[in-house]
C-alpha cells in the first residue's frame, strides 16, 4: 500500500498536536523554564524580537574581522561541548546515538562555511564602479527539528551569523533543553569575540504557538525552516521569504557491477548512523536480483540482522501503526536502537545489531514511509533500469538525497539525471554527502522544497548593488 503525502501530513498533524498538548501540560506541571532566562533566552517571542532588533543594529557596524572572530569562537565552543550536547540531546529526545550525535555536532562546528562563503563582485568601467555584495536579510526566524537539535542550531547559527544576520529560534518543543543550551553557548562565544549580545534568541518554552508567532512576526524578515512537510507548508503560507528544508525518503540503488562487500558495509553504516533519524539516511534499497543475496550477506556481516516470516510479521506489527487502512511509523520507536526495536517485537536482540533489514515488495509501506529508525526494506529488481525507475518513485519528488553503488559510469549518470536529488552519493554511505568522511562543506538544512538545495552563509543573503556613477576609473 502506498502512503500519500496527505496521509503523512495527517499523521504529522496528529503527532504535533500531541507534542503541543504534551508541551502545554508539562509546562503547566513544571512552569520553570529548562534553562535560565539569559544569553538570548526570553519569556516571549516579542521580547526575543526586541532584543534581536538591538543586536541587528549593532551587527551592522561589526567589522568583518570581528565577524570572523565570532565564527571562530562559535566553532570552538561547539567543539568543546559536542559530547555534552550529544548526551543532553539523546537523554531529552530519546532519539539516536550519543557517539553519532557528537560527530554531527563536530561536523557542523568544523565544516559549516563561515564569512569566506560570501563573495562580492565588482564592475568597473567608464561609467563608474559598481559593487554587488551579499547583504544580510536582518532578523531571521529559524525553526529547528528534534532529530538533529544541537547540530542544526550550530550549523544554522554559523551560517546565519557569518552572513551578518541575527536569529530568533523556535526549537522543537521535544528538544528545547539541548537546543537552548547550544544557543546560549554560541551567544556567549559571540560576545566573547566582540559581537553583540542576543545575536541568537529563543523563547524559553517553545511550542507550536510560539513557532507560529515567530513565523508571523512583522519584524522577522525571512524564515529558515528545517522539519517535516507540515512546518514547511505553514512557513510558506506566511508570504515571507522562506528557505525550507523538508522531509526525504532516500533510496539506494545497487547494480550488478557494485563492489558488494563495500556496498553492504556502506549501506549498514549510513542507515544505522544516529539510528536513521537523518533526513539524508538510506531509507530503502533497490538491488539487482543477480547480486541481491550476496549484498544481503555482506550487510549481515556488517551488523545487520535479516528478518523474515513470522519474525518479520512481529517487527511490522511493532514499527508500523495502521489507521484507516494507512500505515505510519510507530512514534515510540523513531530513532531507537535496533536492539530495542527487536526486543519490543519479542525477538532475540543482540546489542551489537546496528540495523534490521528485510526483503519486501515495491509497494510495501516500509518503502513508502519515512520511518526514521534503523529498519531498512530491500526490494529485488530484475535490472538497473527498473531499480532507478523505482528509486525515483520512492523518492517522491523530494529531490532530497539518493545513493548508488555501481562501477558503471553510464548507470551512475542515468541515476543522477533521473533522480535530480540535492545530494547524490556514489559508492559511499549517505553521511558522506553531508561531508562526514566525505569531501565538501556541511549543512544540516537541505532546502529542497524552496529550491536552494545545500544551504550555507551565502544562501542567507540578498544581492545588493552599490553603484558609484562617473567615479574614478580604476582600470
Residue 16 found at the interface with ligand NAD (CB under 6 A): yes
Nearer to ligand NAD, 164 or 433 (CB): 433
Residue choice 67, 75, 97, 172 for contact with ligand NAD (CB under 6 A): 172
Nearer to ligand NAD, 255 or 395 (CB): 395
Site for ligand NAD in 193-212 (CB under 6 A): 208, 211-212
Closest CA to 63 of 200, 193, 192, 220: 193
Residue 148 found at the interface with ligand NAD (CB under 6 A): yes
Nearer to ligand NAD, 226 or 456 (CB): 226
DSSP secondary structure of 201-216: EEESS--HHHHHHHHH
Residue 337 found at the interface with ligand NAD (CB under 6 A): no
Interacting residues of 227 by C-beta distance below 8 A, sequence separation 6+ = 143, 144, 145, 172, 245, 246
Q: Which stretch binds ligand NAD (CB under 6 A): 80-88, 106-114, 241-249, 337-345?
A: 241-249
Shortest reach from residue 308's CB to ligand NAD, in Å: 28
Residue 247 found at the interface with ligand NAD (CB under 6 A): yes
Residue 302 found at the interface with ligand NAD (CB under 6 A): no
Nearer to ligand NAD, 142 or 302 (CB): 142
DSSP secondary structure of 136-182: E-SEEEEE--SSSHHHHHHHHHHHHHHTT-EEEEE--GGGHHHHHHH
In angstroms, the CA 216 to CA 162 distance is 24
Interacting residues of 28 by C-beta distance below 8 A, sequence separation 6+ = none
Q: How many residues lie near ligand NAD (CB under 6 A)?
A: 29
Residue 245 found at the interface with ligand NAD (CB under 6 A): yes
Q: Which stretch binds ligand NAD (CB under 6 A): 74-82, 251-259, 424-432, 438-446?
A: 438-446
Residue 315 found at the interface with ligand NAD (CB under 6 A): no
Residues making up the chain, counted from first to last: 475
Helices and strands counted in the chain (H then E): 16, 20
Q: How far is CA 59 from CA 56, 70, 465, in A?
A: 5, 11, 20
Cell of 95: 532519539
Interacting residues of 141 by C-beta distance below 8 A, sequence separation 6+ = 167, 168, 169, 170, 214, 215, 217, 220, 222, 223, 224
Residue choice 107, 263, 279, 384 for contact with ligand NAD (CB under 6 A): 279
> Does residue 166 contact residue 194 with C-beta atoms inside 8 Å?
no
Closest-by-Cβ residue to ligand NAD is: 227
Nearer to ligand NAD, 59 or 444 (CB): 444
> Does residue 245 contact residue 447 with C-beta atoms inside 8 Å?
yes
> Does residue 370 contact residue 247 with C-beta atoms inside 8 Å?
yes
Strands 200-203, 251-254: pairing is unpaired
Q: Which stretch binds ligand NAD (CB under 6 A): 146-154, 316-324, 389-397, 462-470?
A: 146-154
Q: Which stretch binds ligand NAD (CB under 6 A): 73-81, 230-238, 303-311, 456-464?
A: 230-238
Residue 226 found at the interface with ligand NAD (CB under 6 A): yes
Closest CA to 160 of 139, 188, 185: 139
User: What are phi and psi for residue 219, nearest 5 degrees?
Assistant: -95, 0
Residue 11 found at the interface with ligand NAD (CB under 6 A): no
Residue 445 found at the interface with ligand NAD (CB under 6 A): yes
Residue choice 40, 114, 136, 248 for contact with ligand NAD (CB under 6 A): 248
Instruction: Quickly tell me which residue has 496527505 as its cell.
Output: 6
Nearer to ligand NAD, 16 or 320 (CB): 16
Residue 275 found at the interface with ligand NAD (CB under 6 A): no
Shortest reach from residue 417's CB to ligand NAD, in Å: 22
Cell of 77: 565552543
Residue 335 found at the interface with ligand NAD (CB under 6 A): no
Closest CA to 51 of 42, 59, 60: 42
Shortest reach from residue 146's CB to ligand NAD, in Å: 4
Shortest reach from residue 180's CB to ligand NAD, in Å: 12
Residue choice 39, 370, 395, 452 for contact with ligand NAD (CB under 6 A): 370
Nearer to ligand NAD, 176 or 380 (CB): 176
Cell of 247: 522531509
Q: Which stretch binds ligand NAD (CB under 6 A): 124-132, 216-224, 239-247, 375-383?
A: 239-247
Residue 234 found at the interface with ligand NAD (CB under 6 A): yes
Nearer to ligand NAD, 354 or 400 (CB): 400
Cell of 221: 524578515
In angstroms, the CA 268 to CA 385 distance is 24
Using CB under 6 A as the criterion, which residues of the chain lie in contact with ligand NAD when the complex forms?
16, 143-148, 170-173, 208, 211-212, 226-228, 230-231, 234, 245-248, 279, 370, 444-446
Amino acid at each position: 500500500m502506498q502512503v500519500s503525502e496527505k496521509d503523512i501530513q495527517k499523521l504529522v498533524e496528529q503527532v504535533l498536536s500531541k507534542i503541543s498538548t504534551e508541551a502545554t501540560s508539562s509546562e503547566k506541571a513544571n512552569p520553570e523554564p529548562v534553562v535560565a532566562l539569559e544569553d538570548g533566552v526570553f519569556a516571549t517571542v516579542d521580547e526575543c524580537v526586541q532584543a534581536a532588533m538591538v543586536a541587528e543594529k549593532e551587527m551592522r557596524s561589526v567589522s568583518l574581522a570581528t565577524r570572523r572572530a565570532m565564527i571562530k569562537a562559535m566553532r570552538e565552543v561547539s567543539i568543546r561541548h559536542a559530547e555534552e550536547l550529544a548526551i543532553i540531546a539523546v537523554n531529552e529526545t530519546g532519539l539516536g546515538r550519543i557517539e553519532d550525535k557528537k560527530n554531527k555536532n563536530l561536523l557542523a562546528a568544523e565544516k559549516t562555511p563561515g564569512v569566506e562563503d560570501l563573495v562580492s563582485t565588482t564592475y568597473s568601467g567608464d561609467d563608474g564602479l559598481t559593487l554587488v555584495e551579499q547583504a544580510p536579510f536582518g532578523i531571521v526566524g529559524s525553526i529547528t527539528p528534534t532529530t538533529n537539535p544541537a547540530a542544526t542550531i550550530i550549523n544554522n547559527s554559523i551560517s546565519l551569523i557569518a552572513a551578518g544576520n541575527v536569529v530568533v529560534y523556535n526549537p522543537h518543543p521535544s528538544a528545547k533543553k539541548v537546543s537552548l543550551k547550544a544557543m546560549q553557548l554560541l551567544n556567549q562565544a559571540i560576545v566573547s569575540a566582540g559581537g553583540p549580545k542576543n545575536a541568537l534568541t529563543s523563547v524559553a518554552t517553545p511550542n507550536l504557538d510560539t513557532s507560529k508567532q515567530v513565523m508571523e512576526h512583522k519584524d522577522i524578515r525571512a524564515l529558515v525552516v528545517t522539519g517535516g512537510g507540515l512546518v514547511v507548508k505553514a512557513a510558506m503560507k506566511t508570504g515571507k521569504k522562506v528557505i525550507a528544508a523538508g522531509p526525504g525518503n532516500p533510496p539506494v540503488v545497487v547494480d550488478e557491477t557494485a563492489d558488494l562487500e563495500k556496498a553492504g558495509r556502506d549501506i549498514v553504516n549510513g542507515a544505522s548512523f544516529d539510528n536513521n533519524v537523518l533526513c539524508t539516511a538510506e531509507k530503502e534499497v533497490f538491488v539487482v536480483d543477480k547480486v541481491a543475496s550476496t549484498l544481503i550477506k555482506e550487510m549481515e556481516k556488517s551488523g545487520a540482522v535479516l528478518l523474515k516470516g513470522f519474525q518479520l510479521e512481529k517487527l511490522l506489527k511493532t514499527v508500523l501503526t495502521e489507521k484507516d487502512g494507512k500505515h505510519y511509523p510507530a512514534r515510540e520507536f523513531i530513532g531507537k536502537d535496533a536492539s530495542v526495536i527487536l526486543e519490543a517485537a519479542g525477538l532475540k536482540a543482540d546489542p551489537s545489531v546496528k540495523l534490521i533489514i528485510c526483503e519486501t515488495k515495491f509497494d510495501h509501506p516500509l518503502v513508502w514511509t519515512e520511518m526514521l529508525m534503523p529498519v531498512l526494506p530491500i526490494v529485488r529488481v530484475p535490472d538497473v533500469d527498473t531499480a532507478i525507475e523505482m528509486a525515483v518513485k520512492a523518492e517522491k519528488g523530494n529531490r532530497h538525497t539518493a545513493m548508488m553503488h555501481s562501477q558503471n559510469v553510464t548507470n551512475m549518470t542515468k541515476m543522477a539525471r533521473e533522480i535530480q536529488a540535492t545530494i547524490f552519493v556514489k559508492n559511499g554511505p549517505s553521511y558522506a554527502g553531508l561531508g562526514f568522511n566525505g569531501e565538501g562543506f556541511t549543512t544540516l538544512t537541505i532546502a529542497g522544497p524552496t529550491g536552494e538545495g545545500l544551504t550555507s552563509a551565502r544562501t542567507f543573503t540578498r544581492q545588493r548593488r552599490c553603484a558609484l556613477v562617473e567615479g574614478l576609473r580604476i582600470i
